Homo-oligomer: A and B are copies of this chain.
């Protein structure tokens, strides 16, 4: 169905976008249902679905199964350009970053950790859980593993700032590089509590192994970013 050569769903989508831009629907707010929108615009459910699908694709709204559709918050861009840590990046944007240390324990290295950290099975490893807040709202939940021998006697108090800075300054470790991967996961029950995000919402899992000079792994971490608050950007030469 078209009007002056423009697909109807485009017109609906543009109107909805304008309403979001104008603040008629605000970030985090529940979006009208398909039926409500059908009635409001006097168009078919297929047209509304196409419009919503485009808005979702472009990240303006997000859906949680069984709960409905919500308006996205403006996302925090995380550049994967080299030479810049996430902390530095956010501070550079003038954002207030707070860290909450949830837990610090010592665990035995399992197979996964022995492989990632290149240590022996059952070697002692720090397991650190933290929550990062940007401007007071939870942005990411992280689990970090550090071999005992890398930061012997590490305390909870020391973990409230940058771990990289701590490794460099207190433990005289020369950091070389990190290898990272990004995957999509769903917020589960445990993470839901930490991030104040609904179970089943899409999120990004960033896995990192950090190496010191000499190619020795000093840290293995999982960071779960709220999908409605973060995106990663990068540039490629062609």
Contacts and interface: CB of A to CB of B under 8 A. Distances in A.
A85 B83 CA distance: 23
Interface in A204-237: 204-205, 207, 210, 222, 224, 227, 231-237
A10 B236 contact: no
Given A186-B65, A236-B177, A238-B164, A6 B108 contact: yes
A182 interface: yes
Given A56-B188, A83-B236, A235-B178, A183 B227 contact: yes
B178 A62 contact: no
A168 B77 CA distance: 31
A67 B179 CA distance: 33
A102 interface: no
Nearest to A72: B183
Interface residues of A, number: 66
A80 interface: yes
Nearest to A10: B110
Contact of A236 (B107, B108, B180, B188): B180
A63 interface: yes
Contacts of A236: 80, 82-84, 177-178, 180
A210 B183 contact: no
**Residue with the greatest number of chain B CB neighbours at <10 A, chosen from A56, A143, A232:** A232
Interface string A23-52: 000000000000000000000000001000
Interface of A: 5-7, 10, 13-14, 17, 49, 53, 56-59, 62-63, 65-66, 75, 77, 80, 82-85, 107-108, 110-112, 122, 143, 164, 175-186, 188-190, 199-200, 202-205, 207, 210, 222, 224, 227, 231-238
16 contacts: A7-B108, A10-B110, A14-B110, A14-B112, A53-B190, A62-B186, A82-B237, A83-B237, A84-B236, A175-B238, A178-B238, A183-B231, A184-B184, A184-B203, A185-B227, A232-B232
